[in-house]
Amino acid sequence: MNKSPFNTALAGYLFVAPAMIAIVVFFFGPALAAFILSFTDFDIYALADINNLRFVGLKNYSELLANPLFWTALKNTLFFVFVGGPLSMAASLSAAILLTENSVKLKAFIRTIFFAPVVTTLVATAVVFKYLLHTKYGFINFGLSKLGINPIDWLGDPHWAMPAIIVFAVWKNFGYNMVIFIAAIGSIPNDLYEAAKIDGASPWQRFLNVTLPALGPSILLVSIMTMTGYFQLFAEPYVMTQGGPAEQTVTVLYMMYEQGFKWWNLGSASAVAFVLFAMMLVMTLIQGQIAKLQGVK
Amino acid sequence: MAGIELKNIKKSFGDKNQVEVIKNIDLDIKDGEFVVFVGPSGCGKSTLLRLIAGLETPTAGQVFIGGKDVTNHSPLERGIAMVFQSYALYPHMNVYDNMAFALKLASRPKEEIDVAVRAAAKTLNIDHLLNRKPKELSGGQRQRVAIGRAIVRKPEVFLFDEPLSNLDAALRVKMRYEFARLGETLGKTIIYVTHDQIEAMTLADKIVVLNNGYISQYGAPLELYKRPENIFVAGFIGSPKMNSIKAKVINTNAKEAQILINNHSEITIKINSDLRIGDDVTVGIRPEHLFISENKGLLDAKLQFVEELGHAKYAYFETADDKDSEVKITLQLAPEFNAKIGKNHSLSFDLSHIHVFNKDGKNVTLF
């Protein structure tokens, strides 16, 4: 049988072809189309007759940057990313540490409880949270009233809407990263903890000097995944607040949705998507660089 | 002064303490002694070391270090340092920081830490590696860093848990020598765990042979080799191991016993314990105390295999005992002896080096 390099390579290409075709058709193709769309005025008229499509250059981008709603959405998104992201990671790490402690009982049960929100439908849980956060009948305000605190209009007060969404998002997501951290903590050799104990390290010093450095690569992975996920905040405000009150929960992705599927300005919506993509790319590169400086691989 | 005393130490694992690993151990280690714990896998030697280190709490009994009851003290309060089998170097810290870590935690002045780390690094010839991370070091270098980390703390007791088992054979021999030298230089109490009896024999002032959670024997290396108290120690110490041949007591008085080996030969030995006529016993003889006899010897056996080690030559024989079970016998040959494989030989042994073990495995020979 002829086994020339060409034939070997051909076999390889044929094996990867199904996956590559799917990726090109369902990811790179649409992404490229969206990128091209972002330089056009593609809208509902163009949907009806493609001859209405015009190339507008960077107009969509310049209009976007001049739109005050974009800056509000960006501010809200960044608030969500930089407050919710670290909060979510801290919750994941704390839960993982708790569940890897020898003294903790019923670990499997607690782990299941903590992970359950991740696999529960977002819309269903968001509706439940809406009721929990209800000003008059919500359980949270009921609890606060027992402590003598006046009811808070969680989803109606511009100051509280985004924090309420952050709490919901953290509760919904922390279980996923918790599982990653549990696996990473489990792979830290016990000898290191014992060596640190003999060196005189307290539990907190052991966490700082053994656990945390060993978790470096996992923290990088989780921070990038969390950040990229949190930049794409949409469903929570869509279900719970519809961007309100006073546009305080409008996010960049929410704005893209409204531009694209409410107003049918698909060209503008594509521009929003690529601005968001550029921001996420830059943030990921920065995180990678920080990790590199700290020696994480 | 930091001798170590263990009193009635027991350690069990499991939810209901159902797995008893250490079964009532008493041990007295004098200050400055180099003591090696040796035994087969699962005998409890590492657990015993961890009990002394404070990494495990005994189920019963007390641990004394330097005369002080430290049973409930943390590892730090015991004044010990430990070197792990895996070295357990902190991977994100360089060699200097690894060695300095304990002193930093103890909030010692920077200058003092620097002097201690550099002095230890110089002693161990790793002063050129101080800026390297553990992953950039060879196995031997990591080993030295782990020892250095122990030395800088100036502990009263050093604990080594199988420190050479991750090294290749050549490096192990080199490090063994260095450990012996280190033991002399430090002059501190050292407990060293190994399953390698050569390490035990060459390094120890005293050896603790552990078996199944008990101390089988505690004594100087040559004492264990020459006067094993039981058949386990006799078989464990020495390589190739001591030959064991089933035998029967055919006559006895308070001081002597006549023993029939292989339904073949009779020998008389002095005994220190009662034996009765008809008792099954085991006769133990080391390979170097057996020889091929020109005349009729004590045993007839067929040569199966010869092992040439250069400095020594071992012949492996097969014979049958009085119950027709197969018995393998190892004999150290003179280097110039040309043995023929498959041929029957008559074997004799030096009666002054013979050991007789009663049916409980206890050595009843009067030395």
Over residues A190-216, the mean pLDDT reads: 93
B162 and B70 assigned to the same domain: yes
Q: Is A229 a domain residue?
A: yes
Give the distance between the most distant pair of CA atoms in chain A.
85
Contacts of B90 in chain A (CB under 8 A): 192, 195-196, 209-210, 213
**Buried (b) or exposed (e) across B338-354, using 16+ Cβ within 10 A?**
ebeeeeebebbbeeeeb
Over residues A213-218, the mean pLDDT reads: 91
Catalogue the E-assigned strands of chain B: 4-13, 19-29, 34-38, 60-65, 68-69, 80-83, 157-161, 189-194, 206-211, 214-219, 243-252, 256-261, 265-270, 280-285, 290-293, 299-308, 313-320, 326-333, 344-349, 355-357
Q: State the CATH number of the domain containing residue B292.
A: 2.40.50
Model confidence at B56, pLDDT cuts 50, 70, 90, reads very high
Task: Report residue A192: phi and psi, to 5°.
Answer: -65, -40
B154 and B249 assigned to the same domain: no
Range of the domain at B284: 241-357
Nearest residue of A to residue B150, measured between CA atoms: A199
State the DSSP string of B334-350.
PTT--PPTT-EEEEEE-
Q: Is B149 a domain residue?
A: yes
In this prediction, residue A164 carries a pLDDT of 93
DSSP-assigned letter for residue B136: G
3-class state of residue B307 by DSSP = strand
In this prediction, residue B264 carries a pLDDT of 75
Q: Answer whether residue A59 shows pLDDT above 90.
A: yes
Cα within 13 Å of Cα(B68), Cβ side: 10
Q: Is B257 a domain residue?
A: yes
Contacts of B85 in chain A (CB under 8 A): 191
Model confidence at B113, pLDDT cuts 50, 70, 90, reads very high
Q: Answer whether residue A2 shows pLDDT above 60.
A: no
B30 and B147 assigned to the same domain: yes
Residue-averaged pLDDT of chain A: 91
B208 and B74 assigned to the same domain: yes
Catalogue the E-assigned strands of B66-155: 68-69, 80-83
In this prediction, residue B322 carries a pLDDT of 57
CA–CA distance, B153 with B167 (Å, rounded to integer) = 25
Q: Are strands B19-29 and B4-13 parallel, antiparallel or unpaired?
A: antiparallel
B248 and B170 assigned to the same domain: no
| B177, two tokens | 């020598």
B154 and B296 assigned to the same domain: no
Q: Is B40 a domain residue?
A: yes
Task: Report residue B188: phi and psi, to 5°.
Answer: -105, 170
Residue-averaged pLDDT of chain B: 89
Answer yes or no: do A197 and B105 touch at CB < 8 A: no
The string of pLDDT tens digits covering residues B260-275 is: 887 778 888 898 888 8
The string of pLDDT tens digits covering residues B124-140 is: 889 999 999 999 999 88
The answer to whether residue A203 neighbours chain B at the CB level (below 8 Å) is no
In this prediction, residue B328 carries a pLDDT of 87
B24 and B164 assigned to the same domain: yes
CA of B20, closest CA in chain A: separation in Å? 20
Q: Is A62 a domain residue?
A: no
Range of the domain at A151: 67-293
B107 and B206 assigned to the same domain: yes
Give the total number of structural domains in chain A: 1
The string of pLDDT tens digits covering residues A129-153 is: 989 999 888 899 999 988 988 888 8
Give the total number of structural domains in chain B: 2
Q: State the CATH number of the domain containing residue A171.
A: 1.10.3720.10
Strand partners, B4: B29, B65
Nearest residue of A to residue B80, measured between CA atoms: A198
Q: Is A20 a domain residue?
A: no
B196 and B278 assigned to the same domain: no
Of B211, B235, B259, which residue is a domain's last? B235
Model confidence at B308, pLDDT cuts 50, 70, 90, reads confident
Nearest residue of B to residue A213, measured between CA atoms: B92
CA of A186, closest CA in chain B: separation in Å? 16
Q: Is A77 a domain residue?
A: yes
Model confidence at A182, pLDDT cuts 50, 70, 90, reads very high
Q: Answer whether residue A1 shows pLDDT above 60.
A: no
Q: Is B276 a domain residue?
A: yes
Q: Contact at 8 Å (CB) between B90 and A209?
A: yes
Q: Which of B302, B352, B363 is nearest to B331 (CA)?
A: B302
Q: Answer whether residue A297 shows pLDDT above 70.
A: no
| Maximum mean pLDDT: which of B5-9, B287-291, B347-351 | B5-9
Q: Is B288 a domain residue?
A: yes
In this prediction, residue A229 carries a pLDDT of 93
Q: Is A42 a domain residue?
A: no
Q: Is A102 or B91 the better-scoring residue by pLDDT?
A: B91
Answer yes or no: do B88 and A213 touch at CB < 8 A: no
Q: Answer whether residue B103 shows pLDDT above 70.
A: yes
Q: Answer whether residue B38 shows pLDDT above 80.
A: yes
Over residues B197-212, the mean pLDDT reads: 91
Q: Is A247 a domain residue?
A: yes
Q: Answer whether residue B163 shows pLDDT above 60.
A: yes
Q: Answer whether residue A231 shows pLDDT above 90.
A: yes
Nearest residue of A to residue B86, measured between CA atoms: A191
Contacts with B80 (C-beta within 8 Å, 6 or more apart), sequence order: A198, B52, B53, B54, B65, B155, B156, B157, B158, B159
3-class state of residue B329 by DSSP = strand
Q: State the CATH number of the domain containing residue B30.
A: 3.40.50.300
In this prediction, residue B21 carries a pLDDT of 93
Task: Find where tokens 């049960």 sit.
Answer: A109
Angle at which helix B139-151 crosses helix B110-123, to 10 degrees, equals 130
B224 and B268 assigned to the same domain: no
In this prediction, residue B323 carries a pLDDT of 60
| A69, two tokens | 């709603």
Q: Is B366 a domain residue?
A: no
In this prediction, residue A205 carries a pLDDT of 94
| A266, two tokens | 């698909």
Q: Answer whether residue A280 shows pLDDT above 80.
A: yes
B139 and B265 assigned to the same domain: no
Contacts with A154 (C-beta within 8 Å, 6 or more apart), sequence order: A133, A135, A138, A140, A141, A160, A161, A164
Task: Report residue B82: phi and psi, to 5°.
Answer: -135, 140
Cα within 13 Å of Cα(A279), Cβ side: 19
What radius of gyration do chain B's Cα atoms show? 25
Rounded percentage of chain B residues whose pLDDT exceeds 70: 98
Q: Is B367 a domain residue?
A: no
Contacts of B153 in chain A (CB under 8 A): 199
Q: Is B363 a domain residue?
A: no
B105 and B217 assigned to the same domain: yes
In this prediction, residue B26 carries a pLDDT of 94
Q: Answer whether residue A263 shows pLDDT above 80.
A: yes
ipTM: 0.84
